[in-house]
């Protein structure tokens, strides 16, 4: 089978993960691509359920994303937010007017008893996306960040405090009740390749892997399982990955990320800029240009990864 006929499942967080998902969308048939998204960043805000990573994927794959930020909608207005400010609210979390419509529809459907998986499918259809976007679980999970100024909800840590507090530890509240959905189970059962996007291993991928039965369902499959580094030359492309690794006591490098995934992966994609990669841990690796600026870069990287997997048969 040509690589583009294979079923690909990719685990993603926010901006970096959505970029690789867009690359994959460009080279795969929609029915062959399933994107499993972190929901640990989700929270209630002004009565609305906000799912930042899911929306980043939805907006990116539908061509609606604000490319400067990597999240939120393009051509957005903030009249509602200004009205909240006029009422004396702090409004540290930037909600655009059109973005609010997404949260309204989602919150209303949740109140009517729909599962998050069905809601995301509804939103994806509404945005004309053919690929399968599935939340990691239907249960509410909240990434809680234990810092030097106390325990913070994820968006308080990330947005309100601009990821400046020093992180001591993380926990995923509600994870013990988070089951695998039928949709995630089915996608993993028929996957020919599993990819882990260049998302934050601790903030984005670890919550996905912590869903009850997720690791087992992945390891049950004798398929290539390949992670892409979010660290290039000791730095994160975007966000707090490098700062967080340092605070949690890891060396900030692709090798550290490969070691973090060691039990799970059969292959690892480093960045070409990191020349002296240590391949001693037995995982097969390749160095590619992992920095995705243009849409062509995203398709190119996706194609290079799948071609490498095809040639190496990394199972």
Q: Does 55 bind ligand FO1 (CB under 6 A)?
A: yes
- Nearest distance, CB of residue 56 and ligand FO1, angstroms: 6
> 284 burial class (0-12, 13-18, 19+ CB within 10 angstroms)?
middle
In the complex with ligand FO1, the residue whose CB is nearer, 76 or 295, is 76
Integer Cα distance of 67 and 219 in angstroms:
35
Q: Does 52 bind ligand FO1 (CB under 6 A)?
A: yes
Q: Which residues pair with 151 in a beta bridge?
A: 146
Q: Does 165 bind ligand FO1 (CB under 6 A)?
A: no
Q: Does 40 bind ligand FO1 (CB under 6 A)?
A: no
Pick one of 158, 172, 250, 270: the residue that binds ligand FO1 (CB under 6 A): 158
Q: Does 42 bind ligand FO1 (CB under 6 A)?
A: no
Token pair belonging to 289: 């240009």
Is the Cα dihedral 64, 70, 75, 77 positive or negative?
positive
Q: Does 261 bind ligand FO1 (CB under 6 A)?
A: no
**Radius of gyration over every alpha carbon of the chain, rounded to an integer in angstroms:** 19
Q: Does 105 bind ligand FO1 (CB under 6 A)?
A: no
Q: Does 219 bind ligand FO1 (CB under 6 A)?
A: no
Q: Does 224 bind ligand FO1 (CB under 6 A)?
A: no
Contact 314, 283 (CB under 8 A): no
Residue 59, classed as helix, strand or coil, is helix
Pick one of 3, 13, 25, 196: the residue that binds ligand FO1 (CB under 6 A): 13
* Closest to 188 in 3D by CA, of 217, 216, 226: 217
- Nearest distance, CB of residue 158 and ligand FO1, angstroms: 5
Cα maximum dimension of the chain? 60
Interface positions with ligand FO1 (CB under 6 A): 13-15, 41, 50, 52-53, 55-56, 71-72, 93-95, 99, 155, 158-159
């Amino acid at each position: 089978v040509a690589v583009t006929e294979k079923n690909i499942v990719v685990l993603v967080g926010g901006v970096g993960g959505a970029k690789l998902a867009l690359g994959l969308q460009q080279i795969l048939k929609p029915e062959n691509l399933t994107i499993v998204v972190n929901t640990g960043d989700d929270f209630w805000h002004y009565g609305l359920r906000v799912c930042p990573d899911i929306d980043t994927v939805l907006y990116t794959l539908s061509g609606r994303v604000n490319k400067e930020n990597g999240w939120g909608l393009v051509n957005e207005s903030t009249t509602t937010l200004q009205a909240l400010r006029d009422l004396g609210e702090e409004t540290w979390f930037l909600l655009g007017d059109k973005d609010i419509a997404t949260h309204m529809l989602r919150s209303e459907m949740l109140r009517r008893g729909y599962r998050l998986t069905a809601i995301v499918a509804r939103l994806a259809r509404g945005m004309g996306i053919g690929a399968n976007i599935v939340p990691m679980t239907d249960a509410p999970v909240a990434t809680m960040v234990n810092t030097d100024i106390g325990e913070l909800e994820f968006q308080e840590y990330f947005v309100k405090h601009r990821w400046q507090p020093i992180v001591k530890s993380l926990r995923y509240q509600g994870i013990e009740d988070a089951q695998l959905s039928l949709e995630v189970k089915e996608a993993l059962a028929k996957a020919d390749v599993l990819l882990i996007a260049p998302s934050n291993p601790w903030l984005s991928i670890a919550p996905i892997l912590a869903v009850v039965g997720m690791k087992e369902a992945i390891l049950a499959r004798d398929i290539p399982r390949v992670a892409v580094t979010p660290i290039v030359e000791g730095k994160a492309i975007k966000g707090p990955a490098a700062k967080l690794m340092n605070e949690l006591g890891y060396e900030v490098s692709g090798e550290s990320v490969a070691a973090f995934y060691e039990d799970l992966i059969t292959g690892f994609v480093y960045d070409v800029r990191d020349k002296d990669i240590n391949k001693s841990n037995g995982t097969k690796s390749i160095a590619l240009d992992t920095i995705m600026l243009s849409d062509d870069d995203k398709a190119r990287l996706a194609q290079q990864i799948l071609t490498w997997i095809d040639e190496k048969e990394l199972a």
